[in-house]
Amino acid sequence: MIIGIIAGVVAVVAIAGMIFINQPRFGRTPRGERLERIKKSPHYKDGQFQNLHTTVMMTSQKGRLGALWGFLFKKEKNLRPEKEIPVVRTDLRKIGKDENVLVWFGHSSYLIQIDGKRILVDPVFCMASPVSFINKPFKGADAYKPADMPDIDYLVISHDHWDHLDYQTVMQLKDRVDKVICPLGVGEHFEYWGFDKERLVELDWFEDAVPDEGFMFHCLPTRHFSGRFLKSNQALWASFLIETPSQKIYMGGDGGYDTHFAEIGEKYPGINLAILENGQYNEDWKYIHTMPQYLGQVAKDLKAEKVLTVHHSKYALARHPWDEPLKNAVGLKEKDSLNVLMPVIGDVVRLE
């Protein structure tokens, strides 16, 4: 009798789990022609995408479960702000299309309007995790929603982690996006979600695309990983350099320090703005996120005229104080003598 009850409970839990992970928001692993293309990629080996150099994911003795336990249950001071995050409310639709501007929405979400085109990068305006009670935004940092966005020419996704690819956000933007530009394999999620294949510009590292005259996207490496649940690294992760008629803008995505930054700086001289990851780092995973001591070197390797740091001020995905990345940015300005942009969420930054 008891064994039967236990078996029944286990079966119910298993069925509930299967129903949960089979929701559309989890996306889908690549298949068909896309999978065949992936298998031909020089960066896909042993059944998954690989970084340029060998990368240990967890660098402590605790392992993934130990790190997860500490993340969930170890109390840290100043992990979240006590007060609301300062935010500027900007009517994005009223920004003239002839204006070259950038608006940051917290974490890694930002809008670039340049030479008449609107580029929305890694928009997460609804949920940064599979469930709403994890990774809640700081008070005030969730001021912008999908409905606030203007029509978008290029939706750029750096990789498929939940805090960069939000199902609810992209579905609400679906009819107002012209083209989706993403790393190889990420297009499977969008096709599964009903986006026309013709709208997807899917690139491997070192591939380029010219979606419109005068606009070139270079898909470039970063040192990270991918995955939305059980299976990792079935889609690629990337940084992007966009060349427009007037500027070169580097969008770094997520990733730890490596030789690719210097190589990009040499191959693409004259980068006007580098948008770099600064936050959610930890010694336990020091190779897959940029540690503060390397942030200045990244900017110098790229030889960028201006720097904007992102991946902070909205979520506590690591154990550092919430405002430490802001202090890192000040350090870049004062100690490294770099031209660092430090806008408030929603503020309009002029790119001229």
pLDDT at 229: 86
- pLDDT class for 1, splitting at 50, 70, 90? low
CA distance 182 to 160: 9
Overall average pLDDT of the 166-170 stretch: 98
In a domain, 190, yes or no: yes
Residue 351 burial (CB count, 10 A): 20
The residues with which 242 forms a beta bridge, in sequence order, are 217, 249
Q: Is the pLDDT of residue 7 over 50?
A: no
In a domain, 20, yes or no: no
pLDDT at 2: 60
Encode pLDDT of 106-141 as tens digits.
Answer: 999 999 999 999 999 999 999 999 998 899 999 999
In a domain, 156, yes or no: yes
pLDDT at 70: 63
Cβ atoms of residues 137 and 128 within 8 Å: yes
Encode pLDDT of 246-279 as tens digits.
Answer: 999 999 999 999 999 999 999 999 999 999 999 9
Encode pLDDT of 132-155 as tens digits.
Answer: 889 999 999 999 999 999 999 999
35 in helix, strand or coil? helix
- Domain count for the chain, please give it: 1
Q: What is the DSSP code string of 166-199? A: -HHHHHHHGGGEEEEEEETTTHHHHHHTT--GGG
- pLDDT class for 12, splitting at 50, 70, 90? very low
Task: Indicate the range of 71-75, 231-235, 299-303 predicted with least confidence.
Answer: 71-75
**Which residue do the tokens 């060349």 mark?**
243
Q: Domain containing 166: what range?
A: 45-350
pLDDT at 61: 72
In a domain, 176, yes or no: yes
pLDDT at 250: 98
- Report angle CA 310, 228, 187 to the nearest 5 degrees: 85
- pLDDT class for 71, splitting at 50, 70, 90? low
Q: Is the pLDDT of residue 18 over 60?
A: no
Q: What are the residues whose beta carbons fall under 8 Å from the beta carbon of 275, sequence distance 6 or more?
A: 110, 121, 249, 250, 251, 252, 307, 308, 309, 310
Encode pLDDT of 303-313 as tens digits.
Answer: 999 999 999 99
In a domain, 6, yes or no: no
Above pLDDT 70, what percent of the chain?
90
pLDDT at 341: 98
- pLDDT class for 87, splitting at 50, 70, 90? very high
Above pLDDT 90, what percent of the chain?
86
Helix (H) or strand (E) holding 208: strand 208-212
CA distance 263 to 78: 37
Question: Across all residues in the chain, what is the average pLDDT?
Answer: 92
Q: Is the pLDDT of residue 289 over 70?
A: yes
In a domain, 26, yes or no: no
pTM of the model: 0.93
CA distance 303 to 280: 24
Burial classification of residue 54, based on how many CB atoms lie within 10 Å of its CB (0-12 exposed, 13-18 middle, 19 or more buried):
exposed
Encode pLDDT of 311-335 as tens digits.
Answer: 999 999 999 999 999 999 999 999 9
pLDDT at 152: 98
pLDDT at 352: 83
In a domain, 18, yes or no: no
pLDDT at 21: 61
In a domain, 233, yes or no: yes
- pLDDT class for 9, splitting at 50, 70, 90? very low
Residue 251 belongs to domain with CATH number: 3.60.15.10
pLDDT at 23: 87
Residue 302 burial (CB count, 10 A): 24
